[in-house]
Structure 1
């Protein structure tokens, strides 16, 4: 959370933090300011002092009126100097930032994230500052969510569940045509049509696809990040993985939900996969609480799958089938944030939000994945994405 910044600067041994860019492209900027703008701005905060937003011209008034930034630096004169000289900020960043930092900063070490442009890093170093890459400082701060952030992730989750639900209702009404192709009014149902339907619903809910969404039919679901060719046709009797991870257009926060649906006959092999994946999902959720070591929920999942006869890459590194990806990841302003289930020795904290998404996959057949989002508390984790049965048999 933002209130942790002073503690994190102490932990990472920096005198200040600096970020630069557009809130639409650099999540740290939005997190620090809540300023929705395509314009690049600078954000600077010294330890034990308030954050300063740095910009000029028309952007300055918008920053003052449309963000949570209380202190600003008016760089209009410096921008005008660039404009009249025909130069760009990238031509001489030392001139621009040297004047600003000389007025607002009396320290030595500046912490930056990996998103800071290289020309700015070089410029800061030429000015004599010790520039320290501390992306984990920003990520760690963003990992623990405030009450407001939790509410926004749930809002994104509600939009996600609604989008998937309307696809389920649509598929339920389809007919099975030649070659087990799903048909609607005599026309084959394509992945492209499903994605378009998801996008339209999300837009109506004030959300949008963060990058894309996954609609993987049958054996193509073996590649668990296969997005789906728009021309792929939906089929009966095979697993169809639908993984939707939209962003709220205004508030910028993301949810991430997966359901696997099967239309018509469900084979014993598929039922067994669903039951094992769901049991592994719930075993992980039951173990998820503040203070628990991250690897405990990993092992709860993998041991459950092993009990059902399924391998995991963690316990069986050479396997090509079974569960071949991690258990989950943090979400927030990005689809993948801290905490990560690959951080085995880490511990969960109150305010962490994580996906739990076990899956089992077989080459030439496809896979089953069930994913929901959870907020970590001192007790049982809070389920943020409720409303769709994990067994979607139509």
Structure 2
């Protein structure tokens, strides 16, 4: 699909309908408007998006959004309210007055609004999530916003690594400034750094020891010396809504030989995958090549080992198209993706390393600017 207009036409629709707040990535992408209350957006081919907003939001929307703005009053809300009190039927009638359909809607479109629209015309569900594919290719401006979020992630990572590097070791535990160094304390300090960049992050991972065998365990308790510590941070820029994503695995002091082997193998897989990425490369083929690389070294992937995808797209959502998994399609120039191979074993722990970058015609342009260093 080359454009949103193509998606609408190919579906046999007259208009793409959204009803969502800016927490919805498609709404944020189409309007660049921030609102915590849902609004109606209509996109007709060869026209800018049309957004229907409450009167109190109209001036701000005119200033902040490239969409054409109508107030609910201008869309006929008060007139319709005189004879119809069901809020979903009011929304449907406003939409009908502006476009008679057929209506193309996303999979998460409200069922009640779908039912209210159906008496007017056919409602077609974008079941393949074509709108997500449309926003997967990033503009230079979007890449800049993602890069800004990545710099916040790196600054937060640097704070975490510095705390671990300078911690004292007492009875195998890490102490920092005369107190036990815990996962929660490291997260707190990372969050402070990201706030200074006007970014926030949820569920930041600071996991240690056997916790690292669970890829999304956020971590708890006192960090230990000579054990793997997985730090995974994925901040969102509060102004733009765009994310970044990065992971490093470190150890305060030499870990076991098994963990060191895991680290070196995962690092080599990361560098190999970076060399495979370019426009036209298959996400599935990149993923399979890493699986094969691990298998050749004796790291089979079943219930342990390499138990997640190689990577994913990043943008207004932390996980979006494209996918570098067994079902991943071809990569295109402008995709912003992570590469994050990992190996996980319940009796040893896990290692994951993740870089973020842009798919280009001839390769992978890394956005992440942070060293690959395990032993601190």
Aligned residue number for residue 315 of structure 1: none
Contact 1:264 1:393 in 2 (8 A): yes
Pick closer, same or farther for the CA change 1:366–1:269 going to 2, 3 Å.
same
Contact 1:12 1:134 in 2 (8 A): no
Give how far 1:64 is off.
0.8
> Which of 296, 300, 307 is the equivalent residue of 1:324?
307
Pick closer, same or farther for the CA change 1:84–1:126 going to 2, 3 Å.
closer
Per-residue CA shift, 1:207-254, capped at 9, x if unaligned?
Answer: 001x3211111101111011223xx11001110100000100111000
Aligned residue number for residue 316 of structure 1: none
Aligned residue number for residue 60 of structure 1: 58
Pick closer, same or farther for the CA change 1:251–1:135 going to 2, 3 Å.
farther
Aligned residue number for residue 304 of structure 1: 293
How do 1:1-394 and structure 2 match up within 5 A?
A: 4-23=3-22, 25-69=23-67, 71-76=68-73, 78-80=76-78, 91-98=86-93, 100-108=94-102, 110-134=103-127, 136-178=129-171, 180-209=172-201, 211-229=202-220, 232-312=221-301, 319-342=302-325, 344=327, 346-386=329-369, 388-394=370-376
Structure 2 CA distance for aligned equivalents of residues 62 and 76 of structure 1: 16
Pick closer, same or farther for the CA change 1:135–1:369 going to 2, 3 Å.
same
2:3 aligns to what SS in structure 1?
helix
Bigger drift between 276-285 and 111-120 goes to: 111-120
Bigger drift between 36-45 and 283-292 goes to: 36-45
Pick closer, same or farther for the CA change 1:80–1:200 going to 2, 3 Å.
farther
* TM-score (norm. length: structure 1): 0.90
- Structure 1 unpaired stretches of 5+: 313-318
Contact 2:259 2:349 in 1 (8 A): no
Q: Calculate the aligned-residue CA RMSD, in Å.
A: 2.1
2:150 aligns to what SS in structure 1?
helix
1:143 aligns to what SS in structure 2?
coil
Pick closer, same or farther for the CA change 1:248–1:122 going to 2, 3 Å.
same
1:126 aligns to what SS in structure 2?
coil
* TM-score (norm. length: structure 2): 0.94
Structure 1 CA distance for aligned equivalents of residues 90 and 268 of structure 2: 60
Per-residue CA shift, 1:86-112, capped at 9, x if unaligned?
Answer: 95xxx34223331x233321432x111
Pick closer, same or farther for the CA change 1:236–1:82 going to 2, 3 Å.
farther
Contact 1:163 1:201 in 2 (8 A): yes
Structure 2 CA distance for aligned equivalents of residues 40 and 83 of structure 1: 19
Structure 2 CA distance for aligned equivalents of residues 188 and 345 of structure 1: 43
Give how far 1:157 is off.
0.7
Give how far 1:274 is off.
1.1
Give how far 1:345 is off.
5.6
Contact 2:259 2:348 in 1 (8 A): no
Contact 1:330 1:353 in 2 (8 A): yes
Structure 2 CA distance for aligned equivalents of residues 343 and 265 of structure 1: 35
Pick closer, same or farther for the CA change 1:97–1:149 going to 2, 3 Å.
same
2:194 aligns to what SS in structure 1?
helix
- What is the total number of aligned residue pairs between the two structures? 375
